Structures are given as C-alpha cells and as structure tokens.
Amino acid sequence: MIKVGIVGGTGYTGVELLRLLVQHPGVDVVAITSRGDAGTPVATMFPSLRGRVHLKFEDPASANLKTCDVVFFATPNGVAMQQAPELLDAGVRVIDLAADFRITDVAEWEKWYGMRHASPEWVAKAVYGLPEVNRATIRDARLVANPGCYPTAVQLGFMPLVECGFVDLDHLIADAKSGVSGAGRKAEVSSLFSEASDNFKAYGVPGHRHLPEIRQGLSRMAGDAVALTFVPHLTPLIRGIHATLYAQVKVDADFQSLYEKRYASEAFVDVMPAKSHPETRSVRAANLCRIAVHRPQGGDTLVILSVIDNLVKGAAGQAVQNMNIMFGLSETDGLWQLPVLP
C-alpha cells in the first residue's frame, strides 16, 4: 500500500482528494494536515466521508509526513515551495496541486504570483503533470507540478492541433468558463451565493495567472512560441469548466480523425462524435475531459469544445492519475468513477 499524506486537507481539492483516495485499492491515507483545524475529525468537517475516513486533522508542524511515500499539497500558492523541499530531501515524493512549480521561468512566476520564490532550485527539477504529454517523465519524478484547471482543459483541447502545426499558432483564442468552486473554499464577496448565482461575467481579461502556464505548455508542444488570447469567465455552477477554443486553419486535414487518433489510447480523454456539444454535467465528479471538434460552415476557423470537472481532471483526479504513474500502478486505479447525472 502507498502511504499518503495530504497537506491542506480542508479545501475543495483536499476533500476531493480524500474522496478519491479512500476508494483507491492501493492507498492508505495516514495523515491530513490543517493548521487552523488541528484536532478536528475529518468526518466532522466533511460528513460525506463519515465511516470512510477516521483521521483527525493534524498540525503540519507535528504531522509525521516524512514516513509517507507521497505527499499531496492541496494548499494555496506559496505553501509548497516553503514546505516541500524538506520532504523531498527526506525521500518523500511530492505532488503539488498549487502553482508553485508549474512555470519554469522563475522571474515570470514571481511576476504573475506577486511573491519571491522560496525554492527555485526545485522548479528546474519538477515535472509538469499533464499525463497525456509527460507520462514518461512523470514516472520517475520526485516532484510533480499538477496542472491548473483552465490549463488542463485548454491544453488538451488544443494539443492535437498545436502538435501537428496545421493551425496558425500566432492567433489562438481560448474562451473559458468555470464554476465557483474554482475560486477555492474561502470567504470572498465574489463567491457569495447572492453574487455568483444568476450571474455571468468575464474576469482577468488583461491577464490571468493561468495564461503563462497555458502558453508555456502549448509552446512546448509546438516546439516554438505560441500566442494565445485567454479570457476566463465565472458561471453560476459549482463544478465544471467549459473551454471554447478557436484556431485558424493553415493546412487542411480531417481534424475529427486527427483528434480521435491522438487520444485513442487515453483513458481520460473522450473525443466525441462529429457535431457533438459536450456538457459540463457529462463529466461531473469524473476524471475525464470530453472534446468535440467543429468547423462551422466548412470555413477556416476550427472551434474545439473541451469540458472537465475543475476539481477532478482539473485538480485532484489528475493528481491521483499522476500518483498512479509515479508508483507503477494502472493509470486508472481509483479513478473509474462515472460522472454524476443529473
């Protein structure tokens, strides 16, 4: 059994990790930390876990995380870069669900996240945890930077086009919408029911923190610089991301077939039949990305629709998928949950 610890288990990604890990046949969750809720039974905070999780939250200063095989950081940005190096030096493998190790240019990261990086030496050693691209390097990684939710939906949606070079890489557009849980489990006016319900708005149009991560990933796939316009929106949903992606065709091809072949062996990417319109509810609570390829009126603009659950394939589920790869397990272990409908 893989001995697992979770740092920061009180947020939405933390409880989602617990939901998945306690159903995993090869995992033993031995520690969950929370500085503010130490001593509180996990099932008291999250009644959905009653009868399945019997641990109490521990203070991270006293939790024996160094005995774990792998530790997940489900913490705000800036925490893992402070605490992970000690665990890594002790031989523990780490999966960070925040953004501390995703962007390889440390100066770029500091510009977007507004803080000095505490462990830049580990940035160069981290592996970006998008399995559909980096499966081979994830296998031997000591530190995995789990991708963000928007970056997962956008990169998987664009990847076949960017890899083949059949579209104009100077004018990619990603119009993406997210549910409110993407903002995390914190008290903010914009997340209040009266503010987010019955409302729809764009935000971060001048620049969003996920832009450099997406641009970095797409540029690696293309082997050249990629220009992207990325506009996120907040929708009155709890879970879900819907990314509508636009690309101008340079070289004609059977794009439906291109996508089907690229993802034929991927358990967690579903290329839907032509003319489909994937819905966020079709992936709710599942580690799955559904994609549809459109070419309106047979013109030169491709429209790609990509949907994920931001808490699963966009966070906790992808983290478990990465853990499975790191420890030589079947990639699908503990992740066969069907989407919840209605």
Residue 1: alpha-carbon gap to chain centroid: 25
From the candidates 68, 149, 164, 289, give the one annotated as an active-site residue: 149
Residue 149 annotated among the catalytic residues of the structure: yes
Write the DSSP assignment of 277-337 as a string of letters.
---GGGSTTSS-EEEEEE-GGG-SEEEEEEEE-TTIIIIIHHHHHHHHHHTT--TTTT--P
Q: At what angle do helices 106-113 and 210-222 cross, to 10 degrees?
A: 150
Q: Return the exposure string of 79-114: e unless at least 16 CB atoms fall within 10 Å of the residue's CB, then b.
A: bbbebbbebbeeebbbbbbbbbbbbeeeeebeebbe
Supply angle C-alpha 257, 243, 271, rounded to 5: 25
Comparing C-alpha atoms, which of 116, 137, 21, 123 is closest to residue 71? Answer: 21
Q: Which structure tokens are listed for 156? A: 């998987």
Q: Which structure tokens are listed for 223? A: 């082997």
Catalytic residues: 149
